[in-house]
């Protein structure tokens, strides 16, 4: 399934080139910026992200090289992956979901994940925006390649749990779910292993999880993103949150409204950028 989509929509070369430059550890911010600037649409998108409330950078970021220097090479690489992936999948047809709704949920997840990462001072926080944005990308693969079975799974999820846990219905219909499909796509596209892990575990954490990492943050952010979409702070309206994750992050229900408000403020300026 993933291989067929990869042939239909190969990953943009500019993102792969940025990844190569990161790997040789010799490239400076201006070098990476020069490559990104060869793609005007990507450049504009990166500048918009860097200037968004999500990054809270003092002053205006007016060049890609400056964005790379201020945001960091690793995070710019991940943002480049995220933007390229969204643009790629906007060209892959599916008739089961609005792309605006899909990316809006991803952006809310990205915004909440970044806020949580900052609160707990996560060491691998640079992956959080991208992981949040792309956590459901496996659904797009399934919608494109298996629309009829995906429609059955979606309807079953709506009937059984108000659509809050589609992965459970997918497992009944397919024998696997979008977390596994998304992780496989990320692997075939050579995304960083930490990003693959976040995609794989955004509904169900590994049994061995005992410490805070990016997967724990994205797991919680996925549920809170649903509340951000609804403009609600009632946890009963969101997918169940793993109790281990909630405790590891030191959260309580009183923290939820502030996280939701911050996410909504961050996302509104970015929505149109990710929807064609």
Residues contacting residue 225 through CB under 8 Å, at least 6 positions apart: 105, 106, 108, 109, 111, 112, 132, 263
Angle CA(157)–CA(160)–CA(161) in degrees, nearest 5?
75
Sign of CA dihedral 160, 165, 167, 168: negative
Q: Which pLDDT band, with edges at 50, 70 and 90, does 275 fall under? A: low
Which of 183, 263, 180 has the alpha carbon at shortest distance from 221?
263
Q: What is the 3-state secondary structure (H, E, C) of 15-38?
A: HHHHHHHHHCCCCCHHHHHHHHCC
Where in the chain are the domains? 2-274
| CATH number assigned to the domain covering 2-274 | 1.10.3210.10
**Segment 124-128 mean pLDDT:** 84
Whether the model clears a pTM of 0.75, i.e. scores above it, the answer is yes
Would you call 85 helix, strand, or coil by DSSP? Answer: helix
Q: Which pLDDT band, with edges at 50, 70 and 90, does 65 fall under? A: very high
Establish how many alpha carbons lie within 13 A of residue 218's alpha carbon, considering only the half-sphere containing its beta carbon: 33
Indicate if the pLDDT at residue 176 is higher than 70: yes
At residue 140, the pLDDT reads 92
**Segment 152-172 mean pLDDT:** 92
């Amino acid at each position: 399934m993933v291989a067929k989509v990869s042939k239909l929509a190969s990953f943009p070369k500019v993102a792969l080139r940025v990844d190569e430059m990161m790997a040789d550890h010799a490239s400076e911010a201006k070098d990476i910026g020069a490559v990104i600037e060869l793609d005007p649409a990507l450049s504009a998108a990166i500048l918009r992200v860097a200037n968004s409330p999500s990054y809270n950078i003092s002053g205006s970021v007016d060049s890609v090289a400056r964005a790379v220097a201020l945001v960091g090479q690793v995070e710019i690489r991940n943002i480049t992956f995220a933007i390229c992936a969204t643009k790629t999948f906007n060209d892959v047809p599916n008739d089961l979901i609005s792309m605006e709704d899909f990316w809006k949920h991803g952006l809310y997840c990205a915004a909440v994940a970044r806020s949580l990462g900052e609160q707990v001072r996560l060491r691998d926080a640079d992956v959080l925006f991208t992981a949040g944005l792309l956590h459901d990308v496996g659904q797009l693969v399934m919608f494109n390649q298996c629309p009829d079975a995906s429609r059955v799974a979606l309807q079953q999820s709506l009937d059984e749990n108000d659509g809050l846990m589609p992965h459970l219905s997918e497992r009944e219909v397919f024998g696997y779910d979008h977390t596994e499909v998304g992780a496989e796509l990320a692997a075939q596209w050579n995304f960083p292993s930490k990003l693959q892990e976040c995609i794989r575990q955004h509904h169900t954490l590994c049994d061995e999880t005992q410490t805070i990492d990016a997967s724990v943050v994205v797991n919680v952010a996925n549920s809170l993103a649903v509340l951000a979409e609804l403009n609600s702070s009632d946890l009963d309206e969101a997918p169940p949150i793993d109790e281990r994750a909630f405790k590891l992050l030191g959260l309580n229900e009183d923290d939820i409204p502030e996280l939701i408000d911050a996410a909504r403020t961050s996302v509104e300026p970015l929505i149109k950028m990710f929807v064609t």
